[in-house]
Structure 1
Amino acid sequence: MPAKKGAAEKGGAEKRPAEKDGRRRDANATRAAILESARSAFIASGYEGAGVREIAEGAGVTAMLINRYFGSKEGLFAEVLSTANQRPIIATPETLSAPDRAARIASALLKVTEPEATALDGFLIMLRSISNERAVDIARQVVESHHQKNVTEALSGADAGQRAALLMSLVAGVQIMRQVVGLEALNKGHDAELERLLGDLVARLVDE
């Protein structure tokens, strides 16, 4: 006796929403595609300038699917920033545990901010999103729970949290002045004297 129409569908797995082009992809691939599209959009246009429809188009999905995965544009922005800040490049765990950590931090900072270097994703996203109050709130939470937390734990003393925050401020300041403003005095190349001066400043924060 033939099965009733629809019985097979009822007994099978629930179908996932189709992508814009009709293809289906697994949840991890969809999530990764959305994050990559959002990363590019937030880098180019900041929080306010990047639209959910634009991000969805870049990922090959619908705007509804973005809300399903991340809840909202705010949730997506927080996830992108969190992902960009998960792996420190300047104040890495290895660098923070080294006896010459101040010199290493200074060297790494100058290397990633050289004129021909591409600015770090997290830095660009925050820089281009500072006009939005909610984006700033999210950025602060991400910095405090990632870089600042890691640096604070690596330092000693009751004022470790403040010194970690000052180090983050120093790093951001050098990034802005070298890569955005382009101060001539800071863009004479990666010379030893500049590295020594910067290392002395960093040492005041991490070696006390």
Structure 2
Amino acid sequence: MTVPEIEEQRDSPPLRRRNAAATREAILRSALVAFTRHGYDGVGVREIAQQAGVTAMLVNRYFGSKEQLFAEVVEVTFSERTLIADDIASLSRFAAAALVASEPRSVDGFLLMVRSVSNPRATEILRAGIDRHFQRHLVSVLPGAHAHERAALFLSLLAGVRLMQQVMKNPALAAEDESALARPLEAMFQLLIEPPAEEDQPR
């Protein structure tokens, strides 16, 4: 390689910076990890940009603002329903088994939520994302009355167990016999899935 070729290579920006899709993906991946680890208030655009290998100005060019970047992170993270099945017949069993077997990941919607709810605007974005990706789906598949309330309780049970597992690290929820935890969880989920008794339904 000649000296001019070496100098040209040094002066050229990385390939990722010339590729809009790759640059956007790198920023989003950096933000996913950063917001999950540190929460909305715990990290700034500069840190996200640095980990992505770009400038803060470029982050704002692609996403507009930190708030809009967070909203995109929530959308991507919540689009994967890892704990909720589409089939009503397997909903309680799937949720219980997945919940017991779940382990913390570098990108985790629950940890993203827990570490960001101290910020009111982040909470609004998270609440909208939960409604859009989880609660509406549950409401659409739950039979009988009070589907909105039962869907919210279903999600609350999921979140409560995850809190005790991953944040409080309750040793009783790390039992070697996963079935001992999955069975009662499945029963609790099933109570919320089954239609209310006739006397509880609105007239």
TM-score when normalising by structure 1 = 0.81
Q: 4+ runs of 1 displaced by more than 4 Å?
A: none
Contact 2:85–2:94 (Cα < 8 Å) also in 1: no
Q: Which residue, 116, 123, 140 being the options, matches 1:153?
A: 140
Q: Which residue of 1 aligns with 2:60?
A: 67
Q: What letter matches 2:96 in structure 1?
A: A
| 1:175-202: CA deviation from partner (whole Å, max 9, x where unpaired) | 0111211223322234323211111100
| 1:42-97: CA deviation from partner (whole Å, max 9, x where unpaired) | 1221101111011111111111111121111000001001100101111032xxx1
Q: What letter matches 1:199 in structure 2?
A: E
SS of structure 1 residue aligned to 2:176 = coil
Contact 1:111–1:190 (Cα < 8 Å) also in 2: no
| 1:94-134: CA deviation from partner (whole Å, max 9, x where unpaired) | xxx1524312221111111xxxx224611111111121111
* Paired residues for 1:132-143 under 5 Å: 132-143=119-130
Q: What letter matches 1:99 in structure 2?
A: A
Cα distance 1:61–1:175, how it changes in 2: closer, same or farther (>3 A)? same
RMSD: 1.6
CA distance in 2, matches of 1:98, 1:145: 18
Q: Which residue, 108, 129, 133 being the options, matches 2:116?
A: 129
SS of structure 2 residue aligned to 1:47 = coil
* Paired residues for 1:52-131 under 5 Å: 52-93=45-86, 97-112=87-102, 117-119=103-105, 121-131=108-118
SS of structure 2 residue aligned to 1:89 = coil
* Residue 156 of structure 2 corresponds to residue 163 of structure 1: no
Q: What letter matches 1:118 in structure 2?
A: P
Q: Which residue of 1 aligns with 2:199?
A: none
Cα distance 1:130–1:190, how it changes in 2: closer, same or farther (>3 A)? farther
Q: Which residue, 33, 36, 52 being the options, matches 1:43?
A: 36
Moved more, 75-84 or 190-199: 190-199
Q: What letter matches 2:55 in structure 1?
A: T
Equivalences, count: 181
SS of structure 2 residue aligned to 1:146 = helix
Contact 2:101–2:178 (Cα < 8 Å) also in 1: no
CA distance in 2, matches of 1:98, 1:157: 13
CA distance in 2, matches of 1:146, 1:100: 18
Contact 1:56–1:62 (Cα < 8 Å) also in 2: yes
CA distance in 2, matches of 1:122, 1:148: 15
Contact 2:154–2:192 (Cα < 8 Å) also in 1: yes
Q: What letter matches 1:39 in structure 2?
A: L
CA distance in 1, matches of 2:166, 2:33: 19
SS of structure 2 residue aligned to 1:199 = helix
More helix by share: 2
Q: Which runs of 5+ in 1 are unaligned?
A: 1-20
Contact 1:34–1:56 (Cα < 8 Å) also in 2: yes
CA distance in 1, matches of 2:59, 2:145: 43
